[in-house]
Amino acid sequence: MSLPLKNGNLFREHGYIDGAWVGADSGATLPVTNPASGETLGSIPNMGLEETRRAIAAAEAAWADWRGRTARERAGVLRKWYDLMMANQEDLAVLLTAEQGKPLAEARGEIAYAASFLEWFGEEAKRIYGDTIPGHMKDKRILVLKEPVGVVAAITPWNFPAAMITRKVGPALAAGCPIVLKPATQTPYSALALAVLAEEAGVPKGVFSVVTGNARAIGGEMTSNPSVRKVTFTGSTEVGKLLMEQCARTVKKTSMELGGNAPFIVFDDADLDAAVAGALASKYRNTGQTCVCANRLLVQDGVYDAFAEKLTAAVAKLRVGDGLKGETDQGPLIDENAVKKIEEHLADALEKGAKLVTGGNRHALGGTFFEPTILTNVTSAMKVAREETFGPLAPLFRFKTEAEAIAMANDTEFGLASYFYAQNMSRISRVMEGLEYGIVGVNTGIISTEVAPFGGIKESGTGREGSKYGIEDYLEIKYVCLSV
Ligand code: ADP
């Protein structure tokens, strides 16, 4: 591997179980490639059920000590881990871009964002307050205690290889829970680098383990092992549903951050330049591969043509390229399947009458690079209206009235992020209340922060990550009826 890392120690090709760096029992490995170049970066152990079982047993064994520590002690470890992430921000960003493909500037941003969850939840650890409730009888006192749920298993995706981990590990550790992680097979090195820093920060062995390899086998054990009390997942709705079914058999708690079909609505009274900037950030960030990326751009009749023109001019300035080679705005797609999905959505839309305004082809750079694309004359009969494209394709739908826009926006089984641009305050309050979504961005295309509750309704999932609400997902309520 020839990555320019200052701290070569961060690059690990082993799993991390019970404080030890280990290979698969079978010795088998899986290759990891750089999506920008197709070059092999290295390998990871192809682990399965047995290794996962050991990681869970180690977590169970480490639980009593970890939960028994004061909140201040746990916060101190998380703070140190945060500091180490920031001290190694550049190396972590390089690793992230190498395995994931996003522009280096975005990767640096993700590392800071990821680290912020460790800092935030370390601080929240000190504020896990319970309640006292006036008793219902003279001799009764009622106490409500908040306690850690226990061993947590986490499964994370490749689109945010660092941040999707710390949003789970931060609150789990803060609450007093040990956690076993299976990172996405495409992007394991960010996860393993985090484990290097966790160890250095003083996270005790067994409290945080990383198991890499066979998703079905690892996921199967995580969802059936009785020691696991909670499964937290970010990924596709399809896999999320499967994991929920598997978890039902042992009644595990679950937090599911699944797919979206985000509407991005531009009303006649919007500041069009601001709307274009917001659409650009929301649609093309991470090459369109985020679950909160605008999937459908709904534009009011009176500004439709002007918005399309301005967006096209802005998209023409996007620099596509390898994130490790100079300044870029858009990297490659994660793999060939991702490119095929865009092509399928594009072909379907064009066949049904959409008009291609810009892009529409694989990029001249080859591999999995794809041109930033805009379609107009898009209708609800097309696939882009129903399914998450997860790529740099912006379909522009036309609407006439506010009521029509809200109905179109809500016409989906998903309910994660939504956005709209408008100036009129009465409209703003009607629309923000009318959107059936867990997140609404008003006059902004960027909504993620560790201080706010991120999560979806409907088939976009359950639970919230970030903010004071995020830690509740890792806590159980215990009611004590005290007779004195
Ligand atoms: P994406 O479309 O983002 O790749 P997936 O839901 O397929 O979404 O993947 C998200 C995470 O879920 C990854 O870590 C992947 O390895 C894991 N995963 C995929 N299939 C399964 C499964 N059957 N059981 C457990 N984990 C799975």
pLDDT tens, 285-330?
A: 999 999 999 999 999 999 999 999 999 999 999 999 999 999 999 9
The pLDDT of residue 131 is above 80: yes
The string of pLDDT tens digits covering residues 32-52 is 999 999 999 999 999 999 999
Q: Which of 155, 164, 181 has most ligand 1 atoms within 8 Å of CB, for mutation?
A: 155
Separation in Å, CA 17 to CA 51, 173, 207, 211: 8, 16, 9, 7
User: Nearest to residue 446, comparing CAs of 476, 419, 413, 477?
Assistant: 419
**DSSP of 126-157:** TT---EEE--SSTTEEEEEEEEE--EEEEE--
H/E stretch holding 456 reads none
Angle between helices 71-87 and 104-125 (to 10 degrees): 170
Q: Which of 239, 286, 341 has most ligand 1 atoms within 8 Å of CB, for mutation?
A: 239
Place of tokens 């609505």: 265
Distance in Å from the first CA to the final CA of the chain: 67
Please tell me the residue having the least CA distance from ligand 1 atom 23. Answer: 216
> CA 371, CA 361: separation in Å to the nearest integer?
6
pLDDT class of 264 with cuts at 50, 70, 90: very high
User: Nearest to residue 398, comparing CAs of 296, 299, 252?
Assistant: 299
Q: What residues does ligand 1 touch, defined as CB less than 6 Å away?
A: 155-157, 182, 184-185, 215-216, 219, 235-236, 239, 242
Q: What is the pLDDT, as a whole number, of residue 251?
A: 98
Task: Kindly report the pTM of this predicted structure.
Answer: 0.97
Average pLDDT, the chain: 97
Which position among 106, 221, 257, 388 bears the catalytic label? Answer: 257
pLDDT class of 1 with cuts at 50, 70, 90: low
The string of pLDDT tens digits covering residues 134-166 is 999 999 999 999 999 999 999 999 999 999 999
**Cβ of 326: how many Cβ atoms within 10 Å?**
10
CB contact set of 352 (below 8 Å; sequence gap of 6+): 379, 381, 382
| Cα angle 435, 441, 443; round to 5 | 115
Residue 42 · residue 30 · CB < 8 Å: no
Please tell me the residue having the least CA distance from ligand 1 atom 17. Answer: 215
> CA 294, CA 273: separation in Å to the nearest integer?
17
Q: What is the pLDDT, as a whole number, of residue 2?
A: 75
The string of pLDDT tens digits covering residues 417-438 is 999 999 999 999 999 999 999 9
pLDDT class of 442 with cuts at 50, 70, 90: very high
The string of pLDDT tens digits covering residues 65-116 is 999 999 999 999 999 999 999 999 999 999 999 999 999 999 999 999 999 9
Please tell me the residue having the least CA distance from ligand 1 atom 4. Answer: 157
Residue 447 φ/ψ, nearest 5 degrees: -125, -5
Active site residue 257: yes
**pLDDT mean over 172-188:** 98
> CA 170, CA 123: separation in Å to the nearest integer?
10
The string of pLDDT tens digits covering residues 189-242 is 999 999 999 999 999 999 999 999 999 999 999 999 999 999 999 999 999 999
Residue 152's Cα: distance from chain center in Å? Answer: 17
- Pick left, alpha or beta for residue 363 (phi over 0 → left; psi -120 to 50 → alpha; otherwise beta): beta
